[in-house]
Structure 1
Amino acid sequence: MPHPDKEKEKTMILQKTKWWGGLLLISLPLAFGAWLVGFPAAFLVGAMVGAIVYSLTVATKVRVPRPVFVCVQAVLGCAVARAITSSFLDSVTRSGAIMLLVVLATIMAGALVGWVLVRYGALPGTTAAWGSSPGGASAMVAMAEEYGADTRLVAFMQYLRVVMVVLTATLVSQFLLGATAASSSAPSFSSLFAATPLVPTLQTLGIAVAGGLLGKWSRIPSGALLVTMLLGGVLHAMGVDIVLPAWLLALANVALGWYVGLGFDRSILRYVFKAIPQLLLSTFLLIGMCGFSSWVLTRFVGLDPLTAFLATSPGGLDSVVVIALGSKVDFSFIVAVQTLRLFMVILIGPFIAKWLCRFARSPSAH
């Protein structure tokens, strides 16, 4: 006769397998569909939307394990470190002062928008701070939880802004400035699973493992991401190849999307929809302030309008790069500014978040 405990354990394993299978069936088609049409951060957003739908329709207790989240942070750290290239360093050397001005102006704009949300909106202080930070969306979501923010709201704010920025930047590049935005080549499954050189791939995995472990042992908030980013950036600048297989980065984004999406419930969804007007207003306020910064660069520094607009754009680095590729712009300047801003926001974002929390209204004021 089977032992009751073993039968119970077997039933629970089967139930969890069923839950994960259902999550895969819902989220992966969304992720691949978004990727095939060229949607920014497709695997993360698709997986997150699928996980939200699944969490709201199927009562499950399935969650992404914490160690998996640490691995995701390490992989994202390697992805950021890849941006430190010779062209990046050359651009920083030539135009470092201008880039610093652009980056600081964009970060200050994000901090001001965050202050408005914290002071007059209905969002918690740390959530508003991280959600309004103009850095890489996936990096902001990966860091937010460890500083007390609600990753569900942060993710919603970040990717709402990504969509709005992509639409705005595309319209500006195509119609207002008479430039032709790039139409990236259609993605294919062969490119997603393309083979990568063995030695650089192993080097990258070694950096991810070392950075993840050091970050975890250091007890630094989001240490797996920060330490891996810094370690990989230094090594990449010294000539060490960092090669991330496309499928591995996609898998990390899927895991992060699940991590965020599975935390949604009906109460948080009602809260999100209630906050949409102020989130849209804050998004367009940030875009407008960054647009003003681009005008200042054009007027007083001599940059061409499209280069200035894309360099100050508060969207994701990948989205801006796609738009810039097919336009007559200073591409290395744009990439360098966007990458430098990502590094600075990741490094100083916690301090800005803590500062903004001082202005949060008491619960009774809401």
Structure 2
Amino acid sequence: MTRPPEPGGLARLAKPLQWLLLIGTSVILAALLDWSGLPAALLMGPMLTAIGFGLSGATIRPPKSTVIVSQALIGTMIAGVITGNILLTFLGNWPLFLGIIVAVIAMSTLSGWAISRLNILPGTTAIWGCSAGAAGTMMIMAEAYGADARLVAFMQYLRVLFVAGCAALVAHYWVGVSGREPPPLDLFNAVDPRVLAQTLAMAAATTALGIALKLPAGGVMAPFIIGGILNATGVMTIALPNWLLAMGYALLGWNIGLGFNRAIIAHARRALLPTILSIVVLISLSGLLAALLATVAGIDPLTAYLATSPGGMDSIAIIAASSDVDVPFVMALQTARLILVTLIGPALARMMAGRTQPSDAPGL
């Protein structure tokens, strides 16, 4: 009887040891990235480390509950910078906002249709995988409609990785153009204990509500929307210590990075280059739309670029918060895109998948 092959790489190590190595390496890489001046180093360090671990055979994944906690922290962090001006900004520019959002959705849908028509992937998998935004919602919906969930997850996380990496690099090198340095990072910033307790209570209650109502990206959206209203109207002050946010960023980075492993890469090898090409095209389109937004609305170019970046919203929020940009404006456009994608994305994906020729899954 043939014995199964022995696990290789990091899989040979006990899970507690894998976690210790992951945490230690993430801290070192995040510190190096922060020293180099890269925005969102506390996200990018753990994310890049986790990708290396995933491809090296690591068998660990953050529990779903900790991922929800990280999303709640990020949503609450965004809420803390929301003012009444964000609604006025959106209302004053809503035709332009809507046009930009529709353009991004149309390009992502066209990319999925092209990949399907070239018979690289089946229609449903290609359409769901290329959908710009609401990655978690798209993966759940894709599986419900018969798409290959592993490929959809790979395509969605690959887009998040590329977008987050490009946004962080643009934010970093933009300093040379604008001459403005991002605010220095203070991990142990002082926060009033009563304000912190109220903030955490609000985050817990709104996250539970978002999950109970099954809102798309409820862990981020509910604290962001409800907390933002409370903060903007002066009902309460929202503040979180940076060390706590750093833990949330790390959990988010690990969840994304550990999703990349050798099995998924092997399964997706035929779709890898077309998927990367579609992502590059989508990012390029977003850059052009950012230039249009900066020209027409007079928005700071870096703010416009982060606002039009095609997801994920949580990673873009972290990059925006660590850069010298108008965070409320960025989140206004990102939120509007998420809501519109969630509302029309599933119906659009079903319609486009139905227009492609049905085919068996290619040999991947």
Is the aligned partner of 1:264 residue 2:260?
Answer: yes
Which position in structure 2 is the counterpart of 1:3?
Answer: none
AA matched with 2:86: F
Q: What whole-Å deviation, never above 9, does each CA across 1:84-132 have from its counterpart, x for those lacking one? A: 2144344345545444444444454445445545655548857865665
Mean Cα displacement is larger for which, 234-243 or 223-232? 223-232
The answer for unaligned runs of 5 or more in structure 1 is 1-13, 326-330
The answer on whether the counterparts of 1:78 and 1:228 sit within 8 Å (CA) in structure 2 is yes
Q: Are residues 232 and 143 of structure 1, via their aligned partners in 2, closer, same or farther at CA, if it must alter by over 3 Å?
A: farther
Which position in structure 1 is the counterpart of 2:313?
Answer: none
Distance 1:73 1:126 in 2: 26
Distance 1:312 1:153 in 2: 21
Percent of aligned pairs with the same amino acid: 26
AA matched with 2:164: V
Distance 2:227 2:125 in 1: 28
Is the aligned partner of 1:156 residue 2:158?
Answer: yes
Which position in structure 2 is the counterpart of 1:211?
Answer: 206
Which position in structure 2 is the counterpart of 1:8?
Answer: none
Match of 1:226 among 218, 221, 225: 221
After superposition, the CA RMSD in angstroms is 3.8
Match of 2:341 among 332, 338, 349: 349
Q: Are residues 277 and 17 of structure 1, via their aligned partners in 2, closer, same or farther at CA, if it must alter by over 3 Å?
A: closer
Mean Cα displacement is larger for which, 203-212 or 75-84? 75-84
Q: Are residues 206 and 53 of structure 1, via their aligned partners in 2, closer, same or farther at CA, if it must alter by over 3 Å?
A: same
Which position in structure 2 is the counterpart of 1:193?
Answer: 188
The answer on whether the counterparts of 1:129 and 1:352 sit within 8 Å (CA) in structure 2 is no
Is the aligned partner of 1:82 residue 2:86?
Answer: no
AA matched with 1:25: G
1:289-328 residue pairs with structure 2 within 5 A? 289-294=285-290, 301=296, 303=298, 306=301, 310=305, 313-314=308-309, 316-317=316-317, 319=319, 325=324
- Name the count of aligned residue pairs: 331
Distance 2:197 2:85 in 1: 24
The answer for unaligned runs of 5 or more in structure 2 is 1-12, 144-148, 311-315
1:104-119 residue pairs with structure 2 within 5 A? 104-117=102-115
Q: What whole-Å deviation, never above 9, does each CA across 1:317-354 have from its counterpart, x for those lacking one? A: 5546777x4xxxxx65xx45422121122323233431
Shift of 1:233: 1.9
The answer on whether the counterparts of 2:38 and 2:169 sit within 8 Å (CA) in structure 1 is no
Task: With the length of structure 2 as denominator, give the TM-score of the two structures.
Answer: 0.72
The answer on whether the counterparts of 1:102 and 1:337 sit within 8 Å (CA) in structure 2 is no
Is the aligned partner of 1:249 residue 2:245?
Answer: yes
Is the aligned partner of 1:237 residue 2:232?
Answer: yes
Shift of 1:308: 8.9
Distance 2:68 2:360 in 1: 36
Q: Are residues 237 and 124 of structure 1, via their aligned partners in 2, closer, same or farther at CA, if it must alter by over 3 Å?
A: farther
Distance 1:308 1:77 in 2: 19
Task: With the length of structure 1 as denominator, give the TM-score of the two structures.
Answer: 0.72
